[in-house]
Every structure is written in structure tokens, then in C-alpha cells.
Amino acid sequence: MLYRIGRWLARVAMKLLFNISVEGLENIPAQGPLVVCANHISGWDPLLLAWIMPWPVHFMTKKELFSNGFLAFLLTRLHAFPVNREKADVGALRTGLSVLSAGQVVGIFPEGTRQKTPDALGPGHGGAALLAIKTGARVLPVAIRGRYGFRGVIKVACGAAFELEAGTGRLATDVQEGSLQVMEAIRDLWETLGCDESA
């Protein structure tokens, strides 16, 4: 219930505050399991993705936000779960695996943090690829480009969902190659948007 209310409020707020266009909605699968992977430019990004996706997204969220009791309670009710970005967080990976094994949706920003340079993407980390390979879940690449200033232009593109194959027989190598594939898919979408960053 709280997720649905929050999603509706996010939709209203973002339509009032920003000029958002979305393409590729037809690429969103009708059901999970699914790993939604997007580049990260703002704290607004999870709200944007929650609005776009037709079902609840369990976002992997930096653990620092869970240090406040009330905020932790709220985030948990909104299906977020904490991750320690300073190391390989086994607990967060287990939670993500559990969500995907239940046929649900995990949201991850593979860059790991917001990018301060709007005209560049950061390197991808392996968490998303690991979850997808371990569970067989498809990856949905999403590109976000623009600025979140008042009535700023935000362009979003959803690409075709795809599976990552564990082809080498070595998990570490497969995860590394899978991470590159995820970021390449996001980059291809991001480049097609060509958003005017000054908007």
C-alpha cells in the first residue's frame, strides 16, 4: 500500500517539477525476475524508475540512508534494502537473490554512485551481473539523461531486456564480462538520447 501511494506521489511531483519523456516502455517485460539497471545522475532516479516500472522495484540502496530509524522504516516499506558500497556486501547480494528467486524485480545503479559529470558515465560494478547470472534473471537497461532543475528536461530510454550467459565457466570472469555488457547496453541508449545538459 505504501509503495503504491509513494509511486503515485512521485509521479505527480515529477510531472510538476520536470519535463520528462520516456521511450521504450514496450521493452519492459510483463513479469520478473528482472534486474533493472540504470545510470545514476540524481537522488531522483529511483523515484523516476519506480514511476516508470509497472510493478514494485526492490532498490539496492546505500546503507548510510538506513542509519536513521524512521528513514530505514520508510525505505524498507518501499522495498529498498541496504548495501555497503565499500566492499562486496554478501548480505545485500543474498537479499537480491531472494527477491529475484521469488520472481520479483531488483533495481540497481551499476555505477554505484551518482555521477557528478553529466556528459559521462562511470564504470560499472559487478553486483547486477552477478545477480543476473546466478538467477537467470533478465537485465533491463535504462538510460537517464538531463538535469533535474525545475522544468528541466529529463530523457529516459528503456532498452530490450536480455540475459547474461555464464560462458567461460569462471564466475569472476563471467561477472566482469557481464558488467561490461550491462554498461555497454546503458551507454548505447544514453548516447541515442543526446539530451541538452544545459536544459
Q: Which of 178, 142, 179 is nearest to 161 (CA)?
A: 142
Q: Answer whether residue 185 shows pLDDT above 70.
A: yes
Where exactly are the structural domains of the chain?
A: 2-193
113, 122 Cβ separation under 8 angstroms: yes
Question: Per CATH, is 2-193 categorized as 3.40.1130.10?
Answer: yes
User: Among residues of the chain, what percentage have pLDDT more than 90?
Assistant: 79
- The 10s digit of each residue's pLDDT in 100-135 is 999 999 999 999 889 988 778 999 999 999 999 999
Helices and strands (H, E) in the chain, number of each type: 6, 7
Q: Give this prediction's pTM.
A: 0.92
Q: Which of 126, 121, 158 is nearest to 140 (CA)?
A: 158
- The 10s digit of each residue's pLDDT in 43-101 is 999 999 999 999 899 999 999 999 999 999 999 999 999 999 877 789 999 999 999 99
Q: How far apart are CA 170 and CA 178, in angstroms?
A: 12
CA angle 25, 186, 183 (to 5 degrees): 145
How far separated are the first and last CA of the chain, in Å rounded?
35
67, 115 Cβ separation under 8 angstroms: no
